[in-house]
Structure 1
Amino acid sequence: MTSIFLRSLVYNVLFYIMLVFWVLVGLPTFLMPRAAIVNIAKWWGRSSIWLLRVVCNTKVEFRGTDKIPQGPLIVAAKHQSMWETFALLQFFDQPLYILKRELMWIPVFGWYLKKADMIDVNRGAGSRTLVNMARRAGEEVRRGRQLIIFPEGTRRAVGAPPHYKTGIGQIYADSKVPCLPVALNSGLFWPRRNFMRYPGTILVEFLDVIPAGMDRREFVTLLGNMIENASNRLIEEGQREQAELFGRVPTPLAYAEKAPADPA
């Protein structure tokens, strides 16, 4: 585990150095159309994935990419770590995120988010504000963008009970576009609020598209079942791989209990 700790340390340092590098490289894009900033974000995401493989021996396998449709879309993904926030960018031409407002206040980085026309939301606001956010998201998607959203609202540790929020149903109803569910097991290798980065293969699976027009409640139930069933299958597959690497199957929360905290 000492080697894994040192590799994790090196990766985390280089990850933020690389982030600063891309922020500086992307400064001219403030004078360009939104697509230029999106391309910078994609390069940052790809380089971060490459760095994770080189330093920590953490690979990634994307499955079902042929199921990704073109045009306006809701991309609803399981959320276990920071990893998927940048890793999914590369598959979409006009990505859109709903972000907590505090991220917009970060110097330079927040300016990028504004230039990219992301939607900020005050999590402590009342229901009226959240309804307005859902409506704006629906409008943006109907214009041809792809909303990448995490229906549980926050990162959930591997093994934690799922908690899908009703907001995704409102956005689905307002946007009247298909939804692409995404399952993953990233929390095994990049645990939330955790310093460690573990070797193995992060699995991401794009599932069958849910067509527009379903009843909102039925949609939320179907979406949750699809993502959870597939994610549980990918978690089991990842744990089998880790059992071969470490000689045992780790318990779902073992990493969070043993490793120092990481604000990311």
Structure 2
Amino acid sequence: MSLVQPVRTLVFYLLLALMTVLWSSFGMLVGLLLPFNLRYRLINQAWAWQAVWLARWVAGVNYELIGRENIPDQPCVILAKHQSTWETFYFSALFSPLSQVIKRELLRVPFWGWSMALLKPIAINRGNPKAALKQLATQGDERLKAGLWVLIFPEGTRVPYGQMGKFSRGGAALAVNAGLPVLPIAHNAGKCWPRDGWLKHPGTIQIVIGPPMYAEGSGPRAVAALNDRAYEWVRQQQIEIGALAADAPLATGQTDA
């Protein structure tokens, strides 16, 4: 195997780590002095665009956005496919201001986690699913009412490229209760940025944003129906961009239950 891409990947990680330490330190120093929207743009959006830029020009990971016109003017609940870390960078840069559901442990990551704590994330304890759902419903509604996008990866974890996980209903329930749509997003980031391993592969990531989807009615049935529609749309788009076989089963460890 050529050493070019491993070297490019290593340089990318070194530059990203240096940038994160410097930018997060600066953000923590001035962040609390700024109104939230400006704080978000300074600490997270600017940093995320830098990370996307580094991935493109150092590691060779480019991207193509399809469906920008589908992004509504009013923030809503984003239901996105999850394959890698790259999409967390990109969505944090594209949607502003944004609150995302993250593992509570990530707030302990030096520098990055400390600065992230200033940005109103929904930091859940994944070991307690019932409490996490309640927290998502309460804090998610607060974030939406405050004019923030709420990013949810309904598969719950990064699913390997070529697989599709079951969607949890928390995001759809949040949207229905708030009277807002969900915005489904498909992509193939895992092809360039695999879930396992450190090596990044050059190529172009395709991101496809679908039309906002509203629930038909209210209550548990409306939530389930909206969640199913979002899942089917994302699944079909994954197939169309070549990131999922038409007969692919649910990801390992997931069931239809």
Q: State the alpha-carbon separation in 2 of the partners of residues 72 and 43 from structure 1.
A: 19
Q: State the alpha-carbon separation in 1 of the partners of residues 197 and 137 from structure 2.
A: 31
Tell me the equivalent position of 1:227: 234
Instruction: Please tell me whether the aligned partners of residues 153 and 165 of structure 1 are also in contact (alpha carbons under 8 angstroms).
Output: yes
Tell me the equivalent position of 1:45: 48
Structure 1 residues 56 and 93: alpha-carbon distance in aligned structure 2, compared to 1, 3 A threshold: closer
Bigger drift between 67-76 and 109-118 goes to 109-118
Q: Deviations over 1:75-106 (max 9, x none)?
A: 11101000111111223232111111112223
Structure 1 residues 113 and 58: alpha-carbon distance in aligned structure 2, compared to 1, 3 A threshold: closer
Tell me the equivalent position of 2:223: 216
Tell me the equivalent position of 2:250: none
Instruction: Please tell me whether the aligned partners of residues 137 and 175 of structure 1 are also in contact (alpha carbons under 8 angstroms).
Output: no
For the aligned residue pairs, the C-alpha RMSD in angstroms reads 2.0
AA in 2 matched with 1:39: R
Q: State the alpha-carbon separation in 1 of the partners of residues 230 and 209 from structure 2.
A: 12
**Residue 163 (1) aligns with residue 166 (2):** yes
Q: State the alpha-carbon separation in 2 of the partners of residues 178 and 48 from structure 1.
A: 29
Bigger drift between 202-211 and 84-93 goes to 84-93
AA in 2 matched with 1:22: W
Tell me the equivalent position of 2:254: none
Q: Deviations over 1:3-55 (max 9, x none)?
A: 21121111111111111121123221222122233112111111111111211
Q: Residue 185 of structure 1: which of 171, 178, 188 is its match?
A: 188
Matches within 5 A, 1:114-193: 114-193=117-196
Q: State the alpha-carbon separation in 2 of the partners of residues 110 and 3 from structure 1.
A: 31
Q: Deviations over 1:103-156 (max 9, x none)?
A: 222344333222211111111115144224323212321332210111111100
Tell me the equivalent position of 1:28: 30
Which secondary structure does the structure 2 equivalent of 1:226 belong to? Answer: helix
Tell me the equivalent position of 1:244: none
AA in 1 matched with 2:9: S
Q: Deviations over 1:208-263 (max 9, x none)?
A: 11024451111111111111111222235xxxxxxxxxxxxxx99xxxxxxxxxxx
Q: TM-score, normalised by structure 2?
A: 0.85
How many residues are paired up?
A: 238
Q: State the alpha-carbon separation in 2 of the partners of residues 224 and 133 from structure 1.
A: 19
Which secondary structure does the structure 2 equivalent of 1:56 belong to? Answer: coil
Q: State the alpha-carbon separation in 2 of the partners of residues 183 and 126 from structure 1.
A: 25
AA in 2 matched with 1:101: R
> Any gaps of 5 or more consecutive residues in structure 1?
237-250, 253-264
Q: State the alpha-carbon separation in 1 of the partners of residues 111 and 60 from structure 2.
A: 31
Instruction: Please tell me whether the aligned partners of residues 72 and 142 of structure 1 are also in contact (alpha carbons under 8 angstroms).
Output: no
Tell me the equivalent position of 1:261: none
Instruction: Please tell me whether the aligned partners of residues 21 and 112 of structure 2 are also in contact (alpha carbons under 8 angstroms).
Output: no
- Residue identity over aligned pairs, in percent, reads 29
Q: TM-score, normalised by structure 1?
A: 0.83
Which secondary structure does the structure 1 equivalent of 2:82 belong to? Answer: coil
